[in-house]
Amino acid sequence: MKIKEYHYRSKSEIVFLEGPQSRWQELKFTFKTMYELIKGFRALHFIGPCITIFGSARFKDDHVYYQLTRDAAAAFAKLRFTILTGGGPGLMEAANRGAKDVGGRSVGCNIELPIEQKPNIYLDKWVYIKHFFIRKILLVKYSFAFVVMPGGFGTLDEYFEALTLIQTRKIKNFPIIIFGTAYHKELMEHINQMKKNKTINGVDARLFLVTDSIDEAVKMIVEKSIQQYSLQPKNKAKPFRWLFEE
């Protein structure tokens, strides 16, 4: 098992997970992290208000969830939001493709992995990021709504990250919309179990919408993102060419 895990991690991640390093190594890691953040900020600064869509990389284009994601992303792009994803295949590709279908803007924040992850062909722009925690910062930073499609560990990690930030008021109460009532049935049962055991409260259990309806999701985004925050989904900022910004 250790040999298999080694092939799924970069050398820098293996060193990082070994615990405390020398002061020099820790300082280098800090500067590398800062560089990754600045690179991400510069790449995504002008993409405009976004809706981030999370979902599995493993669903193919003939799957019902692929078409649902594509249609939903197209509907959100018509609201003049940029569609932001992890930039990879599967439902990420479907979301970016849906934005392109209607002439919307499509952006990816791609993670460097040995498997499954490479930029899909429907991206107008993307940035490569090494570490998951930095990618999650970027996906949250530019988003005014979060859409959760069926997925695995990574999708749930991103979902609960956004949900926790809203629950603890680290970010505003932006919409979180979960598509796939049948797929997420057991997850909702577990959340109800949390509520029953008072590890979350009734308000926490109402921080997200579970639906199969694109129209219902669009209505929520209009009410809870655009109207509630007087949001104008367009990008007024202009890049400085002398800073090599795009």
pLDDT recorded at residue 4: 40
Q: What are the residue ranges in the chain where pLDDT is below 70? A: 1-17, 113-117, 232-246
Q: What is the pLDDT of residue 50?
A: 95
Q: What is the per-residue pLDDT for 221?
A: 97
pLDDT at 7: 46
The Cα 194–Cα 76 span in angstroms is 31
Domain architecture of the chain: domains with CATH: 48-233 (3.40.50.450)
Q: What is the model's pLDDT at position 14?
A: 64
Q: Looking at 119-166, which runs of residues are DSSP E strands? A: 125-129, 143-148
Q: Which residues contact 35 (CB under 8 A, 6 or more apart)?
A: none
The distance of Cα 24 from the centroid of its chain, to the nearest Å, equals: 33
What's the pLDDT score for residue 94?
98
pLDDT one-digit tens code per residue, 14-24: 666 677 888 88
Q: Structure pTM?
A: 0.87
Closest CA to 73 of 115, 112, 123: 123
pLDDT of residue 5: 40
Report the SS3 class of residue 110: strand
Residue 9 has a pLDDT of 57
The pLDDT value given to residue 132: 87
Q: Which of 108, 122, 111 is nearest to 70 (CA)?
A: 122
Output the pLDDT for position 239: 66
pLDDT given for residue 3 in this prediction: 34
